[in-house]
Amino acid sequence: MAEEKMARIAREIYENVGGEKNVRKVIHCMTRVRMTIIDNSKVNMAGLKAIDGVMGIVEDETLQVVVGPGTVNKVAKKMVDMVGVKLGETFPNSEGLSFEEQTLANKAAAKAKYNKPSKLKSVLKSISNIFVPMIPAFVGTGLVAGISAVLSNMVLAGDLNAATWQQYIDIMNILKNALFAYLTIYVGINAANEFGATPTLGGVIGGVVMLNGMNPESPIKNIFTGQPLSAGQGGMLGVLLAVWLLSIIEKKLHEMVPESVDIIVTPTISLILIGLLEIFLIMPLAGFVSDNLIGGINGILNIGGAFSGFVLGIAFLPMVMLGLHQILGPIHLEMIAKTGQTNLLPILAMAGAGQVGAALAIWAKLRKDRTLVQNIKGALPVGILGVGEPLIYGVTLPMGRPFITACIGGGIGGAIIGFFGNVGAIAPGPSGVALISLIAHGKWLVYVLGLLGAYAGGFLATYFFGIPKDAKIKADNYGQEVQMETLQPTLRVVTTPAFEAATVYAPMSGTVKELSEVADEVFSSGMLGKGIAIEPSNGQINSPVDGIVTTVFPTKHAIGVTSDEGVEILIHIGMDTVALNGEGFESFVKQNERVKKGDLMLRVDLDKIKAAGLSAITPIVVTNSSAYKAISVAAKNKVDKGQVLLTIEP
């Protein structure tokens, strides 16, 4: 019977909006079906409002039909199933293929397009979210660093006068170091935002690897070797691991520590625990590997030839990711002191050239993805000049396979230089074309051949073997709105007992507002039921009753709870927060889970809501209000979580 009702509502909605062919796409939020209409003149508003089961209509950028929580996802699912597409996917039209043929094609495309993401994809997406926002800074400072490197190399080679140019080079180095000298701090802040930790604490954890404040006369020792720790050991991956652990510790402490002392206790304990772990385990582990890496590098160099060039060219970028490249500086200097040149640097420089080739292949293969192409356009110039971070962290690494094929390109370039042999640089410097002026004994042509080989190798390996299928599908469908996940709640039937009065307690602390003050007609008009709103002062949402969690929306911005007395309560955190797609929201309960009054159900980052320009005001609505004689607001002005908020008379 319920299934028939959902199908009827879906069918009647289509009948009153001009049919399926007048709808561009369908999505839904917690309470309403949202349709993108092609021709608004075909919509019968009176007919929509008259549908049994429709609570109201909101006309906005999309036509919103309010059917209530627990019903909305079923109706929306029926609507897209009737057409043969997924939620959020553009409806087929009459152009080209027939409606039925287009429907079948859409089904096949949707099946391939919306595969369940793997854990690896989730990790790579997180890395992308951390580093992509930094691309403008990488590009700007990277170009400055590249120009500085070219000028510095020309000064070292004697082509420019140091007295004239050195001050300008110093200024550019100051600008460059504003990012690269403190890169781990920026990464720590972004990683904390991504993992749900406090951003400033993430910055502190990122800064720990710099070892500022360590007593040089009594340095902290590597627990594996007994040697002093070196700044930078652990690299970016060490920072990411430490901040991820910070997010776990911080969340657990928020649950355990009383709110009155949470601001003092949680950050202090979190920093101490993660800081000790980072200094005494993560950094020493990286240091242990780097110390033993010298013997491996020397062994490979002794073998010589194309093989050693290939191995070193492939291995360099993974070394950078682990921060192990820090140990190479002394090796370069030792080689220069003994032989007048470092033969290692030109080979390792090929790794960056492989990234350039890979990026060009991605551009060619995924050129329809305009966002990705823009990132590549910004990162390529600095990559050619030898600054690889924008390409690594903004393009190849988040995609996974292109990072590997880029390393293969670096190996090919290294093999070319190793084959000719005795190609060295007279001073340490960046890679890419900026190193050409430092190549010793006029062998710059061999170095250029290596660069071209790495470009070509990275391009071909990536073009034919390095493009992930999901990235290709995304590019081919660029501009189409990604579907919203659906949730099919199996609402637990609760027998309403006789009661004299039921109580709904405040799920959060904050300022009490009338529903009429909410800037959304669905709530302010009482369309969904009677209740109250709270402007929250913190991001913890607790259960307002003893009962059952009936609905947790996939984006976690709304939750439904049914009390033991049968009172159905909807808590909707913020306005239009469905657009955040779950970012800043964390759920601690599942659908059909039993909760007690005061149990933590959700946590939300209020700063993230405000940063997105959205309101955090939270309606708490009794959606089955019509079943009760009266619903009274007990709280006034300010309310603390756990205080009486609403009283219900049967």
Catalytic (active-site) positions: 29
Of the candidates 550, 535, 551, 528, which has an alpha carbon nearest to the alpha carbon of residue 622?
Answer: 528
Say how many C-beta atoms besides its own lie within 10 A of residue 82's C-beta. 14
Of the candidates 321, 356, 299, which has an alpha carbon nearest to the alpha carbon of residue 238?
Answer: 321
Residue with tokens 């002093």: 228
Say if CB 153 and CB 434 are below 8 A apart.
yes
Residue 327 amino acid letter: I
Name beta bridge partners: 425.
342, 439
Pull the structure tokens for residue 563: 């009390």
Q: CA 43 → CA 64, 107, 380, 627, distances in Å?
A: 12, 27, 50, 32
Distance CA 55, CA 77 (A): 18
Q: CA 495 → CA 194, 498, 516, 547, 566, distances in Å?
A: 42, 10, 32, 12, 7
Q: Is 268 exposed, middle or buried (0-12, 13-18, 19+ CB in 10 A)?
A: exposed
Alpha helix segments (H runs only) across 220-327:
235-256, 262-277, 283-303, 305-321
Say if CB 271 and CB 205 are below 8 A apart.
yes
Residue 220 amino acid letter: I
Of the candidates 321, 378, 382, 388, which has an alpha carbon nearest to the alpha carbon of residue 354?
Answer: 388
Cα atoms found within 13 Å of the Cα of residue 4, Cβ hemisphere only: 1
Dihedral over alpha carbons 427, 430, 436, 437 (to 10 degrees): -50
**E-only strand ranges, 7-129:** 23-28, 32-37, 56-59, 63-66
Q: Which residues contact 308 (CB under 8 A, 6 or more apart)?
A: 300, 301, 347, 418
Query: Going edge to edge, which strands form the sheet with 594-595?
Result: 594-595, 547-552, 558-563, 568-572, 618-622, 530-536, 510-513, 638-639
* Cα angle: 326, vertex 316, 366; to 5 degrees: 125
